[in-house]
Amino acid sequence: MGTFTPAEIAALKQRAVAEIDRYADRLTAVSQRIWENPEIAFQETQAAGWLTELLLEADYRVERGVGGLPTAFTARRVSRQPGPTVGIFSEYDALINLGNGSGHNLLAISGVGAGIGLAAVADDLPGSVQIHLRGHAGANQGIMGM
């Protein structure tokens, strides 16, 4: 793997941020929709749909229903050459009787936004970057003891 100068790193960061900014209105709108439409563990069909739509728009390959869970997903984007894998986590389920009080609407969109930003520069990094963004269905189930 090659090394970058501070100026090159700054330019990569700026491009990633610019891509996130380009999606900012859509990212904010999806976060707000998830907040306004809380879905409890394993019932997050709308949230999973909204998030995967954004990822498809950003040229990710999306696999829905992973692990036998209809609302779980994995989104992958692979750059040009072999190299490391970067994992990004996204949670989007709500708490029973509390809605999105745990902030999963923000966790969901933060992961997707990070994936969109990284994808914008992945082809310019040495080697390959495989971005695996995992949509975690039912993250609150352990907390709720269901």
Confidence of residue 2 (pLDDT cuts 50, 70, 90): low
Return phi, psi of residue 100, to 5°.
Answer: -95, 40
Confidence of residue 115 (pLDDT cuts 50, 70, 90): very high
Mean pLDDT across the stretch 95-123?
91
pTM: 0.89
Q: Write down the pLDDT at residue 145.
A: 34
Take residue 87 and report the two structure tokens written for it: 């994992």
pLDDT digits (tens, 9 = 90+) for 60-76: 999 999 989 899 999 98
Domain ranges for the chain, please list them. Answer: 6-144
List the CATH code of the domain at 6-144.
Answer: 3.40.630.10
Q: Residue 35: how many CB atoms within 10 A of its CB? A: 19
- Any idea what DSSP says for residue 2? -
Q: Write down the pLDDT at residue 80.
A: 76
| Residue 54: C-alpha distances to residues 27, 57, 125 (Å) | 8, 5, 23
Strands (E) across 5-101 are located at 61-64, 73-78, 85-91
